[in-house]
Amino acid sequence: MHARHSISSLVAGSLLCGVCNIAMAAENSELAVPLGVWGLDSAILPLSGVYGQIVAPSYRASSAKDANGNDVAFSKSIPGITVKGTVNARIKVDAVVPKLVYVSEDPILGGRYGGYIAVPLLNKSRDITVNVTTPLPPALQQKIGLAASQAASGSKRGLGDIELASFIGWKFESLSIVAAMNVDLPTGSFDKNSQVNLGLNSYSFRPLVSAAWSTESGFDIAAAMSYNVSTANRETDYKSGQYFHMEYVGTYQFTGNFKAGLQGYVLHQTTDDKDPSSSSALPLVNGNRARVTSLGPVMSYQTDDLKTQIELKYLREMSARARPEGDLALITFSRLF
């Protein structure tokens, strides 16, 4: 009985490190870009002034995809045995993000300029279920799976990485163009031994350009393209790859106050992750290049004085690689002071 307990502890202990990193992949799958937050008002500057904005995203994922788009599985070799199995991940991220936005009245370089600060308050959790498929005594399989599941799961809430942005926008009859630079600061807590972290422990720089075309018939289309570059994690030296990010939206103005349409995003990592200190227990697979697309409905209501707006959207992710695949619901409330 004592021997069986020792074998069980050895197998479970050897497996935990690998499974935790498969499930967590914090530096591989958690991106600096706030996917889905961009909207039509980011491509068509609103009235000049100071705005208060509350963005409340809620993200749910019931699966984590590997570099080939399959559900994550694992194979861990230890002395005398190779343990294989599957990993089911239920990931939740809820946030309340107060933003303070300024848009100038006087133009510079022919356009109005401004900036904002966004302070994310996060509530994150990962509920991991590890299923061992290697033929082992049932009690041993259950013990390994339960121990690995508990070690790979976790939750945390608090301040995330603060985002700063500056922008300038031009208006040419039906065409609007905005150029911006976004910077993410490592203000969220990070612990390399934790399964859930509030920050990425690195700086991110993200130039962005967006354009919108408005028609007299009520149809508006817009798109934004950005490119994200991050510094290495200050604790682990892990450096996430660079990635291209595009958001797009098309809406129709049904009344003077209400519009609705479709929105989506595309993210494609263009360079490999790098792990010079071997901080990850697992080797990088195809550079851990993340990829995902999404699509869903969006609608907004604006008051007659154009000072208050409420926007709702629901986006479904598809074709994920090296990251979770889930759904995003988001509410944005904006008010001109």
- The DSSP result for 142-167, as a single string, is HHHHHHHHHHH-EEEEEE---EEEEE
User: Which range (19-33, 72-86, 116-130, 164-178) has the least confidence?
Assistant: 19-33
Place of tokens 């707006």: 309
Provide the pLDDT for residue 279: 65
**pLDDT tens readout for residues 249-258:** 999 999 989 9
164 neighbors 136 (Cβ within 8 angstroms):
no
Q: What angle do CA 257, 262, 268 make, to 5 degrees?
A: 135
Q: Is position 147 within any domain?
A: no
200 phi and psi angles, rounded to 5 deg: -95, -5
User: Which range (4-13, 82-91, 273-282, 305-314) has the least confidence?
Assistant: 4-13
Q: Is position 208 within any domain?
A: yes
User: Which range (72-81, 160-169, 286-295) has the least confidence?
Assistant: 72-81
Q: Which residues contact 164 (CB under 8 A, 6 or more apart)?
A: 115, 116, 117, 182, 183, 184, 185
Q: Is position 280 within any domain?
A: yes
Closest CA to 145 of 227, 104, 88: 88
Q: Is position 315 within any domain?
A: yes
Give 111's DSSP letter: B
Distance CA 25, CA 91 (A): 12
Distance CA 138, CA 270 (A): 43
Provide the pLDDT for residue 151: 79
CB atoms within 10 A of CB 307: 15
Tokens of 207: 């130039």
Confidence of residue 29 (pLDDT cuts 50, 70, 90): low
Distance CA 20, CA 72 (A): 12
148: left (phi over 0), alpha (psi -120 to 50) or beta: alpha
303 neighbors 13 (Cβ within 8 angstroms):
no
Report the pLDDT averaged over residues 68-97.
82
Which residue range is the domain that position 307 belongs to? 35-71+89-126+155-336
Report the pLDDT averaged over residues 285-291.
81
Q: Is position 222 within any domain?
A: yes
User: Which range (25-39, 55-69, 180-194) has the least confidence?
Assistant: 25-39
Q: Is position 28 within any domain?
A: no
Distance CA 39, CA 223 (A): 9
Provide the pLDDT for residue 256: 86
Distance CA 228, CA 269 (A): 9
Greater pLDDT, 287 or 323: 323
Q: Which residues contact 269 (CB under 8 A, 6 or more apart)?
A: 241, 242, 243, 244, 287, 288, 289, 290, 291, 322
Q: Which residues contact 3 (CB under 8 A, 6 or more apart)?
A: none
Report the pLDDT averaged over residues 73-81.
72
Provide the pLDDT for residue 303: 92
Alpha-carbon distance values, 142 to 101, 131, 132 (Å): 52, 8, 8
Q: Is position 84 within any domain?
A: no
Greater pLDDT, 38 or 104: 104
Provide the pLDDT for residue 146: 83
Distance CA 239, CA 222 (A): 32
Report the pLDDT averaged over residues 38-58.
88
Closest CA to 299 of 313, 315, 318, 278: 313
User: Which range (138-152, 201-215, 318-332) has the least confidence?
Assistant: 138-152
Number of domains in the chain: 1
Closest CA to 181 of 167, 197, 202, 195: 167
Provide the pLDDT for residue 284: 66
Q: Is position 171 within any domain?
A: yes
Distance CA 141, CA 107 (A): 67
* Residue 294: Cβ-neighbour burial (10 angstroms; 0-12, 13-18, 19+): buried
Distance CA 287, CA 274 (A): 8
Rounded to the nearest angstrom, the gap between the alpha carbon of residue 226 and the centroid of all alpha carbons in its chain is: 14
**pLDDT tens readout for residues 162-218:** 999 999 999 998 999 999 999 999 999 999 888 889 999 999 999 999 999 988 888
**pLDDT tens readout for residues 166-181:** 999 999 989 999 999 9
| 17, pLDDT greater than 70 | no
What CATH number did the domain enclosing 301 receive? 2.40.128.130
Greater pLDDT, 229 or 42: 229
